[in-house]
């Protein structure tokens, strides 16, 4: 059996209604009982993860904001990486943002601008502002741009041209471009977390569906790609095991099969 399990949320552990199903909870409980360490690795805000885990009596370590924040299972902060304030001020200017939606992730809240489209379903409990152009830029874990993929590619090209090497960029979906401090990724955070647990990456299983899962899946000894995984992810992790669809509790199904094989 695996010594640790790291799983993404949206498009992976969560079902089509963005819920952790009873079947998935039961599978995670069995994994914990068998001695596996449980890790959520997501682009979501830490508070969103706490909301999703409410009522689930399991010790789960959390990598949030694509690795910009790491918390132990008891809620103790273990790592934090913020964007440079001067860069944040440049990244929120209307000339760069164009017509896409924008949000900033801070420890205690999310700040959103042009909060009218796809972000409505993604940024629950966000603090909405008419403009973030005058924001001081401090304490920002992540910036997310949301919009038409063609528009986001223009934003991405502009960011890479102007700030090459100063940022980490990734996509959680084609319509979500996410920006963190340089070196930040789920894989980097997971490597540090596993080291603190005394667990080799080769003994960890990971599950993901999108490009912000690449580094995590490339790190571990047992990478798993959802049936709904993006083509780009499949190309980046060609040796990953393909499993079922997130809407069908495929992570739970895989764990159940491993339990049966190991007699757990």
**Which CATH number is 24's domain given?**
3.40.50.1000
Q: What is the per-residue pLDDT for 84?
A: 98
- Residue pair 65/141 in contact by the 8 Å Cβ criterion: yes
Beta strands in the chain (DSSP E): 4-7, 37-41, 60-64, 69-71, 77-80, 101-105, 110-113, 127-129, 142-146, 168-173, 176-180, 204-208, 222-225, 241-242
Residues 183-234 pLDDT 10s: 999 999 999 999 999 999 999 999 999 999 999 999 999 999 999 999 999 9
The structure's pTM equals: 0.94
Give the structural domain span for 173: 85-180
Together in a domain, 130 and 200? no
Q: Looking at 132, 154, 180, which one is the last position of a domain?
A: 180
Domain with 92 in it: what CATH number? 3.30.1240.10
Together in a domain, 95 and 169? yes
Q: What is the mean pLDDT of residues 90-115?
A: 86
Q: Looking at 160, 180, 200, which one is the last position of a domain?
A: 180
The chain-wide mean pLDDT, for the chain, equals: 93
Together in a domain, 153 and 189? no
- Residue pair 83/95 in contact by the 8 Å Cβ criterion: no
When mean pLDDT is compared across 2-11, 69-78, 79-88, 101-110, the lowest value belongs to 101-110
Structure-block tokens of residue 226:
């959802």
């Amino acid at each position: 059996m695996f010594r640790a399990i790291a799983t993404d949320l949206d498009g992976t552990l969560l079902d089509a209604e963005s819920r952790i199903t009873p079947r998935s909870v039961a599978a995670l409980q069995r994994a914990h009982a068998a001695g596996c360490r449980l890790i959520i690795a997501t682009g979501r805000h830490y508070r969103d993860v706490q909301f999703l885990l409410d009522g689930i009596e399991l010790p789960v370590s959390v990598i949030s904001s694509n690795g910009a924040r790491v918390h132990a299972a008891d809620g103790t902060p273990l790592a934090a990486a913020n964007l440079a304030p001067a860069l944040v001020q440049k990244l929120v200017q209307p000339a760069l943002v164009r017509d896409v939606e924008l949000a900033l992730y801070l420890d205690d809240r999310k700040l959103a601008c042009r909060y009218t489209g796809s972000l409505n379903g993604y940024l629950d409990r966000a603090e909405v502002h008419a403009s973030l152009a005058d924001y001081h830029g401090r304490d920002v874990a992540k910036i997310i741009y949301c919009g038409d993929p063609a528009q986001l590619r223009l934003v991405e090209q502009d960011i890479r041209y102007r700030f090459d090497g100063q940022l980490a960029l990734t996509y959680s979906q084609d319509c979500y471009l996410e920006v963190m401090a340089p070196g930040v990724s789920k894989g980097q955070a997971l490597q540090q977390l596993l080291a603190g647990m005394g667990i080799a990456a080769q003994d960890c299983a990971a599950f993901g569906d999108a490009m912000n899962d690449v580094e995590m899946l490339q790190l571990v000894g047992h990478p798993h790609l959802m049936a709904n995984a993006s083509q780009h992810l499949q190309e980046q992790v060609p040796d990953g095991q393909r499993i079922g669809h997130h809407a069908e509790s495929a992570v739970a199904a895989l764990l159940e099969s491993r339990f049966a094989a190991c007699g757990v």
